[in-house]
Structure 1
Amino acid sequence: MTSHETGSGPASAPDYGDLGRRTAMRRAQLGLSRTEVAARAGAATGYLQYVEEHSATPSIGFLLRLADALDTTVAELIGGTAELPPGFDRAGSHPEMRELGTAECRERLSSHGVGRVAVTVDGVPAVFPVNYTVVGDLVGYRAFPGSGPAAAAGHEAALEVDHIDDAFRQGWSVLVMGPAHVVTDLDESLTLEEHAFTAPWAGSGRQEWIVIRPTQITGRRIEVPG
């Protein structure tokens, strides 16, 4: 079997109870309707709805077709790679690297997500994952006052966002660089709160907004022909 059929990496016990959520999320990422995915997988739309909304245990044949329809792997759909770092598979055949234009970088940065902010803490470089929000030309995230991510304030900072597609050994990364500051203006803080898609995944109490005003946005993409 190919890695596209089954995925790769250490074997994990299938968790079919998570299949529906992962299927719906992947379908949303691709911008596909249930009808479109069902047609690709050779299944009834009603059955795909059942899989997404109930605890289903479909056959391996359906899972293989569903994975192909969603351009992913069975392992990804059932959460078998959830505890593994991204990019666990081998490199693709003859990969190509290309630069992303500013508009492409902003499109991938989107309005929110999880990125990694690079700072210097006590003279030592460090990187922290943060939930970020994009408002106009600003990129902001919340942190505990005095914490590692908050150390970016008052300095030039960098925030990196990326996506890895293990099924096709492709991916992209976007790097945002510019001066960072603590938000003290009430109106600016309220605007950031209004646009924030979610509270910090790491938990409550992170109420200090740190904002990066980008002076440079660059990006790269790895593509595998064919």
Structure 2
Amino acid sequence: MNGSPKDRKLTFDQCWELLASSVVGRLALIVNGHPEIFPVNFVLERRTIVFRTAAGTKLWESTKQEPAAFEIDGYEPTTEEAWSVVARGATALIEDPDEQSAADALGLEPWEPGTKSHYVRLSPEALTGRRFKVNAPDVWNTRSYDQRRASFE
């Protein structure tokens, strides 16, 4: 990853730890030749990312033989550091009821109302991440809801 000298690459295990501590990420799929981003809640099951969805674009595009990406990020006010993790790989439907039950046992349940009866697994072929120090906010000019302000207030 190219970046400032303050960027620190995360190890493979650090990336998995951050994924395990998160519940929402963004799934990037190619739709009609261009990228689309879908927020999804997820669980980690056997070193893969699993989410549920209803019939529609996200489901149909997840069944194609196109590469996909998944991204999470966060900010830690106590250390004034942000982090980002990106997984790239293939997606596939989970049709085995035992595998679906394994994901459900980890707390995978839809956040959005409606039936989300389709299970999708993203199997990372690449997993990268970085952690970096963020600029201190100008407390007088920074938006009141900027997460960076928490370390100053």
Same fold (TM over 0.5): yes
What is the alpha-carbon distance in structure 1 between the residues aligned to residue 12 and residue 79 of structure 2? 24
Partner of 1:9: none
**Is the 1:140–1:212 contact (alpha carbons within 8 Å) kept by the matching residues of 2?**
yes
Deviations 1:38-65 (A, max 9, x none): xxxxxxxxxxxxxxxxxxxxxxxxxxxx
Q: Which amino acid aligns with 1:153?
A: T
Q: Which amino acid aligns with 1:158?
A: A
Deviations 1:159-189 (A, max 9, x none): 1011024676521011111110011112111
CA distance 1:192–1:150, shift in 2 (3 Å): farther
Deviations 1:170-213 (A, max 9, x none): 2101111111001111211111111125x222223112111011
Q: Does structure 1 residue 140 correspond to structure 2 residue 50? A: yes
Asked which structure has the greater CA Rg, the reply is: 1
Partner of 2:125: 215
Shift of 1:152: 2.4
Alignment of 1:45-64 (within 5 A): none
What is the alpha-carbon distance in structure 2 between the residues aligned to residue 161 and residue 178 of structure 1? 15
Partner of 1:128: 38
For residue 85 of structure 2, the aligned residue among 158, 174, 182 is 174
**Is the 2:30–2:68 contact (alpha carbons within 8 Å) kept by the matching residues of 1?**
no
Shift of 1:122: 2.0
Shift of 1:127: 0.4
Q: Does structure 1 residue 151 correspond to structure 2 residue 61? A: yes
Shift of 1:106: 0.6
For residue 162 of structure 1, the aligned residue among 61, 70, 73 is 73
For residue 115 of structure 2, the aligned residue among 181, 205, 211 is 205
Structure 1 or 2: more helix by fraction: 1
Matched residue pairs, number?
132
Q: Give the root-mean-square deviation of aligned CA atoms.
A: 2.6
**Is the 1:170–1:222 contact (alpha carbons within 8 Å) kept by the matching residues of 2?**
yes
Deviations 1:122-178 (A, max 9, x none): 222110110011011111111112233652233321110110246765210111111
Q: Given the two structures, how large is their TM-score scaled by the length of structure 2?
A: 0.75
Determine helix, strand or coil for the equivalent of 2:57: coil
Structure number with greater CO (CA < 8 Å, separation at least 6) is 2
Unaligned residue ranges in structure 2 (runs of 5+):
136-153
Q: Does structure 1 residue 101 correspond to structure 2 residue 11? A: yes
Partner of 1:188: 99
Deviations 1:10-60 (A, max 9, x none): xxxxxxxxxxxxxxxxxxxxxxxxxxxxxxxxxxxxxxxxxxxxxxxxxxx
Unaligned residue ranges in structure 1 (runs of 5+):
1-93
Shift of 1:99: 0.4
Q: Which amino acid aligns with 2:47?
A: D
